[in-house]
Homo-oligomer: A and B are copies of this chain.
Amino acid sequence: MLYGQGESKMSDEIELKGKAARRAALRLAILDTETKNHALRGIAEQLIARQDAILEANARDVAAGRTAGLSEAMIDRLLITPQRLQAIAQDVLAVVTLPDPVGEVFDGTTLPNGLQVAKRRVPIGVIGVIYESRPNVTVDVSVLCLKSGNAVILRGGKEAAHTNAALTHAIVEACCAHSIPDGAVQIIESQDRALVLEMLRAHQYIDMIIPRGGAGLHEFARQNATIPVITGGVGICHIYVDKTADFNKALSIIHNAKTQRPTVCNALDTLLVHRDIAATFLPQLADMFAAAKVELRCEQRAMAMLEGHPAVHPATPADFDTEFLSLVLAVKVVDGLDEALEHIHAHSTHHSDAILTEDYSAAMRFANEVDSAVVYVNASTRFTDGGQLGLGAEVAVSTQRLHARGPMGLRELTTYKWVIFGSGQVRA
């Protein structure tokens, strides 16, 4: 079979920065941890030292955002205050304390022919990050890439262009002063949208793409990339309340999963309740959520049990395929664990799902059979987070299946190579 080999056109900016990143990556890969940590401390210092310039750049973005009619929520995501800059610098220092994953040796053995074989953890190489308005991503991601020995090419949203440039300037300044190779951290300056597509196809220069943004960005990256993409960003999260669930624990977990931060991907979207307890459990739930201003969208059987409660509405089928990102919850009564599993298989985005139960066999079956990045028994879905699960930091939450699943930290920014020490062995 013969296949055509499509070569994409590439602008000068991607090509120059791609080449510089590749050169930097070779040197970063063999940099010792101490040098990388010195540079990270230098970045934290530069961010504070350059506070005036950063806040001034941010003020220009905020003013432009207001003129362009961005919502107050968007403006707030964009805004950097002295306190927020301090917090960003503190987060950099927190990464200094994390162990360096590079150099870990694992799966080592000596083969019968005497070859000493092991895998050694190495950086991935060059990471491309495409993100939307939040400018703190510029610093977070740069620092995690540096610590794990990767070069990074950033492409932020145009709303935050001045802020991102000022932050990158501080990072690059600190890198120069601390023996980090040129090209380790670079930002794409052109606001031409075509460059996003070019980045996604620059597999000569970029080894992995991390989209940080909404479902549309993730889907665009998947459709167009010739580079491996870490997809994620969408979580339709389910909790199934089994008939043996402890009501107090259940109400507390559901409240936490829905309301503790409703705008994020690990917040609860769909509640499934066993029919044997629904008539007593659902009214308690409705009372709790009336106080918390959570709207319930109920399928028929649930609706029948909640007639007359405030903020209770009939669900449409689409509600069970919606990531609400707000104080709305879809509710359904199921005949039991089988129907709950079927519903989750049919509607899952493979992010985070939980069972609340005191029944051992039900708990084990749910843990075995639900195919999601994180499966919980008797805990809130809100724990799906690198910081919460002990990774120390998080670069993304993956809902795809290869390389890494769920929260990704420093180790997930590495790969391995096989290193084989011989004494003249040849293959028979």
Residues B223 and A425 in contact, CB atoms below 8 Å apart: no
In the complex, what residues of B have CB within 8 A of residue A125's CB?
A: 371, 401
A148 CB–B CB distance under 8 Å? no
Residues B402 and A415 in contact, CB atoms below 8 Å apart: yes
Chain A interface, number of residues (Cβ within 8 angstroms): 79
Candidate in A26, A29, A384, A420 with the most chain B CB atoms within 10 angstroms: A420
A38 CB–B CB distance under 8 Å? no
In the complex, what residues of B have CB within 8 A of residue A326's CB?
A: none
Residues A377 and B3 in contact, CB atoms below 8 Å apart: no
Residues B401 and A124 in contact, CB atoms below 8 Å apart: yes
- Within A357-377, the residues touching B (CB, 8 Å) are 363, 367-369, 371-377
In the complex, what residues of B have CB within 8 A of residue A4's CB?
A: 220
In the complex, what residues of B have CB within 8 A of residue A115's CB?
A: 379, 383
- Within A1-39, the residues touching B (CB, 8 Å) are 1-6, 26, 29-30
Please name the residue on chain B nearest to A5 by beta carbon.
B219
Binds B, one of A170-178, A249-257, A307-315: A249-257
Give the distance in Å from the alpha carbon of A378 to the alpha carbon of B371 in the complex. Answer: 45
A86 CB–B CB distance under 8 Å? no
With A5-B219, A253-B426 as contacts: A124 and B402 at CB distance below 8 Å: yes
Please name the residue on chain B nearest to A363 by beta carbon.
B421
Residues B425 and A117 in contact, CB atoms below 8 Å apart: no
In the complex, what residues of B have CB within 8 A of residue A203's CB?
A: 222
A390 CB–B CB distance under 8 Å? yes
Please name the residue on chain B nearest to A7 by beta carbon.
B223
Residues A374 and B405 in contact, CB atoms below 8 Å apart: no
A195 CB–B CB distance under 8 Å? no
With A389-B418, A419-B367 as contacts: A426 and B220 at CB distance below 8 Å: no
A69 CB–B CB distance under 8 Å? no
